């Protein structure tokens, strides 16, 4: 299983390295390949509701990856809908794994206030330029914020860091689209996003404390 995980990481790195050649044939498949491999590992490794939720998260991510690879501007709505499924599935998983008692009161407060404050600030900046996208963006940001808070409250460093980076990547998509466009946005955002998915995947699939899994397989 760990070999498959390494392959997923390498394919993600390959997509980023090949970005200067984009668009090229089947680039969307290369971009979606890492999360699809993670989905297969999850099917073989996880059990119960966590397995179902993780499979949905990865399928939603794969669809979102494909939409964004085709055209980040034209298919933003479809990508938002796809990644919304991912965020909801992660919310289900992280709610089951939340370990509030492992956090100090200060850490618990920070894990809630920082994502909320960041989201409020970004929505304030996005509002003038969202137009008809305003309410879809609000719904997505609310779910993204909840996902990040719950990830930070799992008490599991891989999930916490992965959730924080996922929120960072999606925030940068919004910044680039609705606030301040910046150069090399796609390779930067995809690098952070891929890292986030791999960290969450590692936390769920291999750092298994408190997670419903099948017996470890060599």
- The pLDDT tens digits for 200-213 are 999 999 986 556 66
- How much is the pLDDT for 218? 32
- How much is the pLDDT for 5? 96
pLDDT-derived band at 144 (thresholds 50, 70, 90) equals: very high
Quick one: how far is CA 159 from the chain centroid? 11
- DSSP 8-state secondary structure symbol assigned to residue 216: P
Q: How far apart are CA 205 and CA 92, in angstroms?
A: 16
Decide: 205 and 151 in contact? Cβ < 8 Å: no
pTM, to two decimals = 0.92
- How much is the pLDDT for 138? 97
Q: Would you state the structure tokens that stand for residue 4, as one six-digit string?
A: 């498959």
Q: Above 50 in pLDDT, residue 96? A: yes
- How much is the pLDDT for 217? 42
Polymer length in residues for the chain: 218
Q: How far apart are CA 91 and CA 61, in angstroms?
A: 14
């Amino acid at each position: 299983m760990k070999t498959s995980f390494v392959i997923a990481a390498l394919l993600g790195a390959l997509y980023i390295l090949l970005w200067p050649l984009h668009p090229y044939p089947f680039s969307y498949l290369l971009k979606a390949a890492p999360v699809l491999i993670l989905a297969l590992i999850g099917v073989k490794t996880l059990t119960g509701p966590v397995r179902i939720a993780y499979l949905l998260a990865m399928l939603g991510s794969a669809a979102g990856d494909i939409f964004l690879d085709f055209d980040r501007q034209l298919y933003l709505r479809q990508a938002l809908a796809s990644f919304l499924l991912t965020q909801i599935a992660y919310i289900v998983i992280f709610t089951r794994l939340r370990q509030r008692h492992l956090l100090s009161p200060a850490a618990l407060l920070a894990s809630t206030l920082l994502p909320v404050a960041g989201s409020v600030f970004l929505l304030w900046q996005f509002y003038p330029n969202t137009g008809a996208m305003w309410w879809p963006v609000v719904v997505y940001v609310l779910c993204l914020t909840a996902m990040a808070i719950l990830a930070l409250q799992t008490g599991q460093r891989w999930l916490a860091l992965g959730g924080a980076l996922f929120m960072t990547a999606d925030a940068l998509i919004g910044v680039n689209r609705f606030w301040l466009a910046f150069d090399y946005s796609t390779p930067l955002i995809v690098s952070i996003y891929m890292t986030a998915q791999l960290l969450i995947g590692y936390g769920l699939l291999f750092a298994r404390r408190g997670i419903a899994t099948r017996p470890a397989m060599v």
